Amino acid sequence: MEVLNIENYRHFIRFYLAKRSPRGRGEIGKLAKFIRVHSTFVSQVLAGTKDFNVEQSYAITEYLQLTKIEKKFFLLLVQKDRAGTVNVKNYFKNEIEELKSSMLTVSKHLNKPSILTKEDSAIFYSTWLYSAIRLFCSIDPGKTLDEIGLQFHLGRKKASNYVDFLERAGLILLEDGLYKLGEAHTHLSGDSPFIIKHHMNWRIKALQRHENIRREELAFTAPISLSKKDFLKIRENLLSSIKEVIEVAKESKAEEVAFLNIDWLWIEPSKE
């Protein structure tokens, strides 16, 4: 995690304010208003002449929409910098180093290949977003938390909830501040209890996209009357096309995220 290389809370704040606005315009004023202090006081703190108290520091974590681990790291930095004795300062330095060490240990553990448990599958297939975010992270060189939040119209804090689960499940991993595709994989058999929810998620998403379909995209609906023999023939043709899609996708460089829905069904199956 890139932020774990920062060694004082003032640099931490500047780092995140720069992410929100590269030129820093108005960010100090917005932060000051949120934590209910004068902007001059914020400037003095960032210059190193004053300090935020614990309550103000916690409010800053809310303003910056930090993840749980970022929040903990930031508050430890504040306490280290505010410490009045060498012993107390060293105590918080050790706490910071232990946090960094634990993050590295967890990261190594999460990188091991695995298959989703039933509990994690229930979460993963609860919404299309988990799958979409995971695939988005496969695009080189990987994605930052801010890019994920922007791509899927999520606040940074909300995006971190999805990312935290995907990382814990081994579906994505964090390297040098970028989330990338992990080694864990997903698979649903036809009799899986999650298969209906999986189909439903993406079909609902398709319906939501219909009002803004682009020229290069495709949507096709056609009620048809035909023989059972030709129904099965078309089914085989579609299966062949699906296999071809999978093979092309395997060899394709990840640049965008797409999804494919195909329904080839009798309007009502006849009773045998």
Per-residue CA distances from 120 to 114, 127, 169, 218, 221 (Å): 12, 12, 7, 32, 34
Q: What is the structure's pLDDT at 2?
A: 58
Q: What is the structure's pLDDT at 134?
A: 94
Tokens representing 137 are 């992270």
Select from 12, 11, 22, 137 the least CA-distant residue to 64.
12
Under a CB-based contact definition with an 8 Å cutoff, are residues 10 and 48 in contact? yes
Q: What is the structure's pLDDT at 3?
A: 63
Q: Where are the domains of the chain?
A: 2-110
CA–CA separation, 128 and 30 (whole Å): 34
| Three-point CA angle 264, 258, 153, nearest 5° | 125
Pairing of strands 172-175, 178-181: antiparallel
Q: What is the structure's pLDDT at 24?
A: 56
Buried b (16+ CB within 10 A) or exposed e, 241-263: eeeeeeeeeeeeeeeebeeeeee
Beta strand segments in 135-193, E: 172-175, 178-181
CA–CA separation, 52 and 75 (whole Å): 11
- Phi, then psi, of 185 in degrees rounded to 5: -135, 165
- Phi, then psi, of 174 in degrees rounded to 5: -105, 125
Q: 255 in helix, strand or coil?
A: coil
Tokens representing 125 are 């297939």
Q: What is the structure's pLDDT at 44?
A: 93
Under a CB-based contact definition with an 8 Å cutoff, are residues 96 and 73 in contact? yes
Quick one: fold of 2-110? 434 Repressor (Amino-terminal Domain) (1.10.260)
- Phi, then psi, of 153 in degrees rounded to 5: 55, 45
pTM of the model: 0.66
Q: What is the structure's pLDDT at 10?
A: 92
**Tens-of-pLDDT digits for all 272 residues of the chain?**
556 678 889 998 988 888 776 555 688 899 999 999 999 999 999 999 999 999 999 999 988 888 788 888 999 999 999 998 999 999 999 998 888 777 655 444 444 445 678 888 999 999 999 999 999 999 989 999 999 999 999 988 899 999 999 988 889 988 878 899 887 778 777 788 999 999 999 999 999 998 889 999 999 999 999 999 999 999 999 999 998 998 999 889 999 999 999 999 998 876 65
Q: What is the structure's pLDDT at 16?
A: 82
